[in-house]
């Protein structure tokens, strides 16, 4: 499944270069198709009792980042709040992510 995530975060600097992050992340489902061994199926066709994947998802990202000499390391966990489908056993999208980046002067 493909989602368009829009993270909205606040950074609180607790030491030089070290920031705590927290915010909200709305997400919009773009596709329910899954490919396995070259076969593509739409999840909605095989969901139990005709259940459908919801088109909107919401999570709460929390994490921390560190920046040193324009190199950034960011670790974040997105706590899923909404169920991804409208059936009883549906779970929430929860994600752990790590980002390594470099800041360029413009």
Which pLDDT score is estimated for 10? 97
- Give percent above pLDDT 90 in the chain: 58
Q: How many domains does the chain have?
A: 1
Q: Which domain holds residue 76?
A: 2-102
CA separation for the pair 90, 85 (Å, rounded): 6
Question: Closest Cα to residue 65, out of 106, 100, 24, 28?
Answer: 100
Residues 17-47 have pLDDT tens digits of 999 999 999 999 898 887 778 888 777 776 6
Other C-beta atoms within 10 Å of 61: how many?
Answer: 19
Indicate whether this model's pTM tops 0.85: no
């Amino acid at each position: 499944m493909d989602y368009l995530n829009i993270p909205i975060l606040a950074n609180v600097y607790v030491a030089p270069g070290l920031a705590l992050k927290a915010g909200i992340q709305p997400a919009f489902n773009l596709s329910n198709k899954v490919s396995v061994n070259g076969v593509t199926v739409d999840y909605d066709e095989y969901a139990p009792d005709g259940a459908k994947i919801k088109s909107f998802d919401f999570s709460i990202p929390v994490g921390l980042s560190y920046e040193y000499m324009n190199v950034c390391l960011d670790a974040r966990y997105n706590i899923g709040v909404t169920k991804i489908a409208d059936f009883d056993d549906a779970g929430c999208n929860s994600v752990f992510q790590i980002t390594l980046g470099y800041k360029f002067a413009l």
